[in-house]
Amino acid sequence: MIFNYSDKFIEAEDAVKAVKSNHKVWLHANSCFPDLLVSKLLERYRELQNVTFYQLTTFNQADFVEPEMKGHFTLNALFTSGNVRKAVNEGRADFTPAFLSEIPRMLEESVIPVDVCLLHLSVPDEHGYCSFGVSNECSKIAAECAKIKIAQINPKMPRVLGDNFIHISKLDYIVWHDKELIEVKNTTKDLSDEDKAVYDAIGNNIAELIKDGDTLQMGIGAIPDAVLPLLREKRDLGVHTEMFSDGLVDLMEAGIVHGSRKNFLKDKVVSSFLIGSKKVFDFVDNNPLIEFRSTKFVNDPFVIARNDNLVSINSAIEVDFTGQVCADSIGYRNYSGFGGQVDFVRGAIRSKGGRSIIALPSTAKGGAVSRIVSCLKEGAGVTTSRGDVNFVATEFGVANLWGKTMRERVKSMINIAHPDFREELERKAREVKYLWD
């Protein structure tokens, strides 16, 4: 029987009247950002005071962090995406460092309280179930915890399968919004030839660590985008990853990724959200191979470890020569967030046959600055501890730090630094007695 939901539709400007002063409002993330609802809510800013938004990564213009919104709206970013980075670093928005695996629990225990959840969902199926579409992450659990649930329903939102649905009867207000989703293109396409050569070299070094039958987790950015095309000679790969992307579609269509050798959730590509183009939106739509779940499950290190031969691949801003990884800040300035890096580093190393890889170019600023350093910049946060790190890869090679002494790891890290900086790194290592004759 087709579920009758037409009487639930109202205009967006009426739906957002449910948001009151002092409310805590969760925003659906990535290409599921509820743009219509947010724009109509911002039109009411003069009548609202002290409304707090919570969000992960979003790509839309974030007008709610502009100076004129002070006192009306504020943001607590759980991951600092580019559209709010300036506001966070200027003190116009706040940031909460948190692992993606733990944010759902913070929601469930009201450490992060949610009065209203603004969502962007697929149309209901014949049973009345709407898909969270291309972004489950923490938003499904936020919706379950919210007192009021408001959704914009989009016929162009893919119906992505898995534990990724909410019944329309659970929604308080729904708004029709027929609009194309925001696309995010492959980051390697805009690289200079010189930079592309660096990322290709890093990708080749990583590819040598990946074996037939491995299960992969990829982070976001130029390094995963560079690695995936280099895996076409591999066979029978699986995927258990927080983020799904265009590169995985290419490998699945080529028959390289299918999950038939996975020992856990066999024949399923498990993810929590996707960032990509219309190509990947179309691919995941109603695809029984794809299973989206909350980061409470996907990013749980103990769940990750149930996958044998799990290989995690993540990037960094800088790594010191003892193995401390900074991936979320540049000195005191916040750049991104913890995301799922630590979740997957810890899950991978506990996986039978698993490996974790932190990858980065050896230099920044056109070769003027080494990203392999003697100590992290003042104010920089340690995203992943040196006790957690397994492999570190640059274009100059791979250092295996797991179980290594300070002396061994410092020597290995200097060997994968850019040659222009190795002498200075060695001098500093000797000065602090990490190396000796």
Looking at the predicted structure, is the pLDDT value of residue 341 above 70?
yes
- 245-252: long-range contacts at Cβ-Cβ below 8 A with a sequence spacing of 24 or more? 245/218, 245/220, 245/274, 245/275, 245/276, 245/280, 246/186, 246/276, 246/277, 246/279, 246/280, 247/186, 247/218, 248/218, 248/280, 249/276, 249/279, 249/280, 249/283, 252/283, 252/289
Tell me the pLDDT tens digit for each residue of 291-338: 999 999 999 999 999 999 999 999 999 999 999 999 999 999 999 999
Provide CB contacts within 8 A for 219, sequence distance 6+: 243, 313, 314, 315, 339, 340, 341, 344
What is the residue-wise DSSP string for 195-212? HHHHHHHHHHHHHTT--T
- The structure's pTM equals 0.96
Kindly report the number of other CB atoms within 10 A of residue 194's CB atom: 9
Active site residues: 242
What domains lie within the chain, and their CATH numbers? 6-176 (3.40.1080.10), 187-431 (3.40.1080.20)
Distance in angstroms (rounded) separating the CA atoms of residues 401 and 229:
27
**pLDDT score recorded for residue 230:** 94
- pLDDT of 1: 41
Residue 188 pLDDT more than 80?
no
Q: Which tens digit of pLDDT belongs to each residue from 122-172?
A: 999 999 999 999 999 999 999 999 999 999 999 999 999 999 999 999 999
DSSP codes, 36-76: HHHHHHHTTGGG--SEEEEESSB-S--GGGSGGGTTTEEEE
CA distance 269 to 117: 28
pLDDT of residue 40: 98
Which residues have a Cβ under 8 Å from the Cβ of 231 and sit 6 or more positions away?
207, 210, 237, 251, 256
